[in-house]
Amino acid sequence: MRDIHFEAGLLPGRAVLAVTGPEAGHFLHNLLTADIERLSEGEAAYSALLSPQGKILFDMLVRRQGDGYLIDCAAAQSLELLKRLGFYKLRAKVEIAARDDLAVAVSPVEIPSGYQDPRTAAIGWRSMGDGAQSEAKGYDSARLALGLAEGEELASGGFFPHEANLDQLGGVSFAKGCYVGQEVVSRMEHRGLARSRILPVHTSRPDLPKGTEIRAGEKLIGTIVSSAGETALALIRLDRLAEADAPLAADGVAVTVLKPDWARYDVPGAA
């Protein structure tokens, strides 16, 4: 992988929710894919809330703090996530609220009172504070280059956790008990059914539109999920990539599939 660079600052596309109360940990643990109850004070986990069919509805970073947990999520999804968590609340002794007073910041180096991104150390540190700083620069390009899909890129409800690499990035616990969609995710893990993965790709033309098809000759290999300049994320069929007998192209431009350092699976022909 090439060197990753970005400048510290705020992420205006992120928002913060708080889940507090004596049953906050148990409540989130039983809903989300990660092992929330194992978190110690100040520690964070990458996680997701799935549909009963096992597909991602919301992905997030969850940090234990004080008497509860702070959720770092996509701002465009925050109200819907708040509503969905409230739907599951029932009689649980928890309070769920938007924390509009908090902003999410990132940095390539350690942030005092912050936490290292649990997905990969290569994407640096995060914090949730008062927002008294400028906007981060180059963060999304760095994130895409590392193969990290998030937020609205996954918001269609069309991706399984394995396709979005949550199993590779610590976002799924296969040891804990039930959570929403758990049976489907466990079956994919134990049967090795993850044929498609979201991976970083390099393109010879910037900003290819979402949904652009990647082909090897006439064979469909994948589709663009999002892009930032010549770096993009694409959902790639690994079995078809292995069988590709022609150069990859999307809308007439060359495409190179990259393998992130964190990936523990084979990416045939990757740079």
Q: Based on the domain organization, do 119 and 17 belong to the same domain?
A: yes
pLDDT above 60: residue 118 = yes
263 found inside a domain: no
Tokens coding 57: 């509805």
What single-letter DSSP state applies at residue 32? S
Residue 115 CA: distances (Å) to CA of 15, 31, 41, 212, 269: 16, 23, 11, 36, 35
- Res 2: pLDDT: 56
Regarding whether 221 and 107 lie in a shared domain, the answer is no
pLDDT of 4 = 80
pLDDT on residue 3 = 67
Return the higher-pLDDT residue of 176 and 166: 166
pLDDT of residue 156: 73
Does 122 lie in the same domain as 215?
Answer: no
φ, ψ (nearest 5 deg) of residue 47:
-160, 175
Structure tokens at 117: 């991104």
Same domain, 109 and 38: yes
Residue 61: CATH number of its domain? 3.30.70.1400
Q: Does one domain contain both 106 and 19?
A: yes
Tokens linked to 253: 């431009």
Residues 132 and 210 in one domain: no
Percent pLDDT > 70 in the chain is: 99
Q: Which of 108, 137, 166 marks a domain boundary?
A: 137
Q: pLDDT of 2-23, one tens digit each?
A: 568 999 999 999 999 999 999 9
Q: Token pair 């040891």 is at which residue?
A: 175
User: Which amino acid belongs to residue 197?
Assistant: R
The pTM for the full model equals 0.95
Give the C-alpha separation, 121 to 118, whole Å: 7
CATH code assigned at 221: 2.40.30.110
Position 154 in a domain: no
Domain count, the chain: 2
| Whether 16 and 130 share a structural domain | yes
Q: What is the pLDDT of residue 157?
A: 80
Whether 29 is covered by a domain: the verdict is yes
5 neighbors 108 (Cβ within 8 angstroms): yes
Residue 148 confidence (pLDDT) above 60: yes
Domain of 65? 9-137
**3-state class (DSSP) for residue 216:** strand
- For residue 188, is it within any domain? no
CB 233 within 8 A of CB 224: yes
Q: Report the C-alpha gap between 172 and 121 in whole angstroms.
A: 18
Determine contact, residues 21/159, Cβ cutoff 8 Å: no
Q: Is residue 79 part of a domain?
A: yes
For the stretch 221-238, pLDDT in tens is 999 999 999 999 999 999
pLDDT tier at 127, thresholds 50, 70, 90:
very high
User: Are the C-beta atoms of residues 144 and 201 closer than 8 Å to each other?
Assistant: no
Last residue within a domain, chosen from 122, 137, 152: 137
Pair 20, 122 in one domain: yes
Q: Is residue 33 within 8 Å of residue 166, measured between CB atoms? A: yes
The answer to whether the Cα torsion of 241, 247, 252, 258 is positive or negative is: positive
34 and 118 inside one domain:
yes
